[in-house]
């Protein structure tokens, strides 16, 4: 007769270590996932959009780590009154090159406002210009 095959020894129980590692990994990863989803949502949906006109006073690339295109538009309501300065950001390189050549000229800018952007790597302001038109005087 053949002898019965002995049962294999039980596997060591390390289930609690695996669960703890998964929970710790999930706890550390979840803030990054939430931040990424928040950033995508803030950049995808615009709070408002419209046009602003005035003299393009300043346009430059700024930032230590994240270089962004930033500009200032001087909006004069009445002659002789100090103009209102409106700061904006540009993400499109084509629009940035157009604006770079129009400093000192009167322009009309179409913008979208995005609120709640978590970092300044997307732009220093919440106003993003997406098109420019030169205003004939």
CATH H-level, domain 46-134: superfamily: Nucleic acid-binding proteins (2.40.50.140)
Rounded to two decimals, what is the model's pTM? 0.72
Query: E-assigned strands of 34-105?
Result: 48-62, 68-75, 84-90
Domain-wise residue ranges, the chain: 14-45, 46-134
Taking only the tens place, the pLDDT of each residue in 84-136 is 999 999 999 999 999 999 999 999 999 999 988 877 788 889 999 999 999 98
pLDDT of residue 16: 65
The DSSP code for 81 is S
Q: Bridge-partner residues for 54, per DSSP?
A: 107
* Averaged confidence pLDDT in the chain: 88
Compute the half-sphere exposure of residue 134: CA atoms within 13 Å on the CB side of its CA. Answer: 10
Tell me the C-alpha distance between 116 and 103, whole Å: 29
Which helix (H) or strand (E) segment holds residue 43: the answer is helix 15-44
């Amino acid at each position: 007769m053949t002898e019965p095959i002995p049962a294999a020894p039980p596997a060591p129980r390390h289930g609690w270590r695996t669960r703890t590692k998964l929970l710790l990994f999930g706890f550390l990863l979840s803030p990054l996932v939430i931040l990424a989803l928040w950033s995508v949502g803030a950049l995808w949906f615009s709070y408002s959009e419209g046009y602003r006109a005035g003299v393009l006073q300043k346009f430059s690339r700024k930032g230590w780590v994240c270089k962004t295109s930033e500009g200032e538009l001087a909006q004069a309501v009445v002659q002789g009154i100090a103009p209102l300065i409106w700061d904006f950001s540009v993400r499109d390189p084509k629009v940035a090159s157009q604006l770079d050549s129009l400093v000192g000229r009167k322009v009309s800018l179409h913008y979208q406002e995005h609120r709640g952007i978590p970092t300044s790597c997307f732009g220093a302001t919440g106003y993003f210009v997406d098109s420019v038109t030169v205003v004939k005087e």
